Amino acid sequence: MGERVGIEVSIAAAEAVKMANTDVIAAYPITPQTHIVEHLSELVADGELDAEFIPVESEHSAMSVCCGSSAVGARTFTCTSSQGLALMNEIVFIAPSLRLPIVMILANRSMSGPLSIWNDHTDVMSIRDCGWIQIFTENGQEVFDHVMFAFRVAENSSVSLPVIVNLDGFVLTHVIEPIEFWDKETVKQYLPDFKPVNQLHPDNPVTMGAFGLPSIFTEAKKAQDEALINSKSEILKAWKEMGDLVGRYYKPVETYQLDGSETVFLTIGSFGETVSVAVDELRAQGKSVGQVKLRLWRPFPFDEFREAVRGVKRIIVIDRAISYGGPGGPVASEIRSVLYQEENMPVITNFLCGFAGRDVTSDDYISMYEKTEQMAKGKVTQEDYIIYGVRE
């Protein structure tokens, strides 16, 4: 087992990329992702990581360089946030269709405008349907572990898809946490060398990125969808083996104080920890409250999620992004449709909060719970979604 150190999460993430023996890093700086790229460039400059660090002129080129390097069989990493993700958007959609196992850390930050450097999930929710494997992390240890996990799953020959690891900007990127590093032997055991399924090499010429006529496009998309769905078995295997090696067992859907709870909070990302505090307080008051956290966002863990909320009467979905003029926050919309056909479908209330770094305390979650109770009792009208904490 590795050593436990107090370290900034961004630095730990970069160290994990180093320990994964990454070959190419192409990235463009944007707050709050900067510390990760800065540290990686230092590691390369000091010769601690033998990789090509490509200081591209834009995020669009960052993702394009990643496509080129991954296509020749190099282990490839990039990271970005909000505007950077938006600028690379076009290529983000193409990478999985080319089945290129790129790993990207997304330091979640709100999308302009107004311009803001602070954290929410408006960036990642804009690429919900991009075809990458997408996971969320809650603390620095999870970030470190999931860099290894991401490379392993992405590069697995039966998966061969890119992976996004989401971590909340500032809330995680800029905090110092105790993180247990893996030792070299563990990394070696967990993460095999990258052996690409298809590779651009003169000895065995292949054509990648051909153009699809309507007569074949649907089949190509069906194949891509299946690839993402089927990646789940490797995802589960990678978590199981990680647990066996480092003692931390991750699951697609995590639960907290769930047993018999009538009402559950649903969270993704680092806000989950504060919600857990609120759950404890509410339980101390004798309320039947628990929590469900989505770690795996794509492919969506239908079975695990339905199982987790079976028998639950109310779900309070915390969203950190808006769907302007839509039926609710992006997470709530998904949850509603995932549960729509279920018997005894729970009532879903949806609170949109924590935009651009706005603090949300455990008291706030308690008041969301109370509001949900009132809606349930018919004391206030049930609304599709509520933007919480708007100053009047």
Partner 1 sequence: MEQFNVYASRLITKKEHFTPGHRACQGCAEALAVRMVAKALGKNVIVASATGCMEIISSPLPFTNWKVPWIHVAFENAAAVASGAEAGTKALIRKGKLVDKGTVFLGMGGDGATSDIGLQALSGAFERGHNFLYVCYDNEAYMNTGIQRSSATPFGAATTTSPAGKQIPGQVTWKKNMPEIAVAHNIPYVATACSSYPFDLIQKVKKAASIKGPAYVHILSICPTGWRIPADKAIWIGRRAVETGVFPLYEVENGKYRITVDVPELRPVEDYLKPQGRFRHLTPELIEKIQTRVTKEYNNLKTKTKLET
Select 40 or 308, whichever has its Cβ closest to partner 1: 40
Q: How far is the CB of 389 from partner 1 (least distance, A)?
A: 40
**Which of 371, 121, 140, 118 has the alpha carbon at shortest distance from 265?**
371
Q: Which parts of this chain interact with partner 1 (CB under 8 A)?
A: 23-24, 26, 50-52, 54-58, 60-61, 64-74, 76, 90-91, 94, 98, 193, 200-202, 204-213, 216, 220
Task: Please state the closest distance from residue 286 (CB atom) to partner 1, in A.
Answer: 57
Nearer to partner 1, 210 or 284 (CB): 210
Measured CA to CA, the distance from residue 88 to residue 357 in angstroms comes to: 23
Q: How far is the CB of 60 from partner 1 (least distance, A)?
A: 7
184/201 with CB nearer partner 1: 201
Residue 192 Cβ, how far from partner 1 at the closest point, in Å? Answer: 13
| β-bridge partners, 350 | 317
What's the closest the beta carbon of residue 70 comes to partner 1, in angstroms?
7
Give min distance, CB of 213 to partner 1, in A: 6
The answer to whether 166 touches 35, Cβ cutoff 8 Å, is no
Q: Which is nearer to partner 1, 3 or 57 (CB)?
A: 57
Query: SS in 3 state form for 101-158?
Result: CCEEEEEECCCCCCCCCCCCCHHHHCCCCCCCEEEECCCHHHHHHHHHHHHHHHHCCC
Q: How far is the CB of 42 from partner 1 (least distance, A)?
A: 18
- Cis peptide preceding 252, ω within 30 of 0: no
| Closest to partner 1 by CB, 207 or 344 | 207
Write out the two tokens for 102. 């790129």
CA angle at 99 for the pair 37 and 189, rounded to the nearest 5°: 65
Taking alpha carbons only, the member of 73, 75, 68, 27 closest to residue 49 is 75
> Which of residues 58 and 374 has its CB atom nearest to partner 1 in the complex?
58
Alpha-carbon torsion, ordered 47, 48, 50, 53, to 10 deg: -80
- Taking the complex as a whole, the smallest distance from the CB of residue 205 to partner 1 amounts, in Å, to 5
Residue with tokens 């239908």: 302
C-alpha to C-alpha distance for 247 and 50, rounded to whole angstroms: 29
CB-nearer residue toward partner 1: 78 or 141: 78
* CB of 6 or CB of 212, closer to partner 1: 212
Distance of CA 159 to the CA centre of its chain: 17
Helix (H, G, I), strand (E, B) or coil at 218: helix
